[in-house]
Structures are given as structure tokens and as C-alpha cells.
Amino acid sequence: MSWKLTLPCTRAEAETIDAAEDFGIDPAPVLMTTETVEDDTETWRLDAYFEAEPDDAAIAAIAALVPSAAGTPPQVEALGDEDWVTMSQAGLEPLHVGRFFVHTAAYADAVPAGARAFLIDAGRAFGTGHHETTSGCLAMLDRMADRDFRNVIDLGTGTGLLAFAARELWPTARVIATDIDPVAIDVTAVNATLNAVDRVELVVADGALSDDITAAAPYDLLIANILAGPLMSMAPEVAAIAAAHATIVLAGLLETQRADVVAAYAACGCSLEDVDRRGDWSVLRLTAGAERFVPTAPIDPKGRDGWALDL
């Protein structure tokens, strides 16, 4: 028997929930957020699916994700013997972006002819493609298919989806996918096997300072779908591993944060070339300077913000 815990939440909370949160529960719950009233930022819902009845500690851990629900008793219900993972994903409609079709197992038979399908089930890492930032990145990459990239890195890969898209678009390129969370790298490895994606190198790393990352630099395409604060604080280290005239795709930022993010990268010699705005979110394409950026001082990872997983 499986169980579902439901709490109300806001859109802002839904967009910052970390699906790879370590709750100390094995197996970890599957988290799903849903807009319950169209275009109402305050009326969303969080559903957490468990394989066993959640105890008080598990309920408290989920409730901590949605402060706006303080004082609201969570709804906890038994689901019987249904396939709870498939049921939890039933609300995730497939996404068709350019040549890519991103779907859960529930839509495995709905792949359009000629599309490159990626089976990405919701689970312990973000990046199903359904958030505006991830779908915007897919669209941005798809529009660059006629370019010739040789060395690609996806910083904060989450489920691996954007790295997989890069492998599809530039099959001869070296592609590296990194994440601060080992769980995300494990999920990416599983997803790579499920989707017959090969030759994507996986690295557990905090930011871009890992020896494995710097040794493979410079990169001519850099993708970072994280959050605005980390994007800004990481600007020098991202720019430092970029080749001259490299393309940098940044996402995870609100439109209201765009100017600050652009300014952080402009200070490192990068210029804004394109913006794909999706709702309140923006995906940026920048070009690195004509000469490789060299930081004027050593970068101390302890002095910059922590960063989040791919949305």
C-alpha cells in the first residue's frame, strides 16, 4: 500500500522545492507540484507520494517545504495497491520542444514520429523539462543545432536532460554533466541508460572549480540552469572555463533578476545575445569575450553562495 500527503503551497514555493532533498527516508518520496487555479500564484498544491505511511518526522519534513501552509493540517491518504509512481506522474503532460519530446512512462506510447524522445520520470532530481527554465533551455539549444560545438558542459544537470539534448544535437562533442548532489548524478546515469545516451561524462562537483572540470576546459558551450544568486556568484568561475567567444546559456532566473545576472557576467567579459522569456522566468544566451577571462583574484568557493539543482 502506498500513501499520499497533500499540502497547499504557492507558486514561488513550488518552483523552489528541491526534489532531491534528503529526507532520511528510503525510498525517498516523489514530490509533485500542481497549479490548482490557472494563473493564480498563490493557489498551488504539493503532493508527496510514499511507499509507506509517513511518520511525524516525514510529515514535518514535507511541511517545512511550504511555509505558507503553516497551520493547515496535511491530508494523508492511503492509495491502495495502485502503481503510485505512475499515478503521481499522471499530471505531467508530455512536452514537445523543437525536435525533443520529453515524457514520463505514462506517455511512452505517445511519441510523435521523428521526435527524439527522452523518458524522464519525476523522482529524486529536478529537470523533467516541465519547468519554464528547463523547457526554455531545450528550445534555446534546439535553435542552435546548426552550430558546431566541440566541448560542452552542463552545470547542475539534475536529471541529465539538457546534457542529453546536447549529446543529441552535437554527437561528436565532448559532453560533461555535473551536479553538486551525488543523487542527481546517480539519477542522470540511470536516465542515460534508459534513453540510450552514451558518452556523457558525469562529475559530482560544487560549481565549476573541480579539477575534473577545469582540466577539460575551455568549453565552447556552457549550460547552467540553477538559480539567480548562484549564477551571479559563480560568474567568474564559469567565465574562466569558457573559451573565447563561447556560448553560455543561463537559466533559473526570474525576469526581474535578469539585469543583475547579465551585469555579473558582463563584468567577466560576457555579452547578452538572446533572451527567451517564459512567464516570469528568462533563459539567457550570452557570448564570452574575445579573450579568455582570467579572474583577478583566486576564487574561494566558501565565499560564494551555495547553488541548487536543475529545475
> Which segments are annotated as binding site for S-adenosyl-L-methionine?
134, 156, 179, 225
How far apart (Å, rounded) are the C-alpha atoms in residues 162 and 138? 7
How many Cβ atoms sit within 10 Å of the Cβ of residue 56?
7
Binding-site residue numbers are 134, 156, 179, 225
Joined grid coordinates for residue 3: 500513501
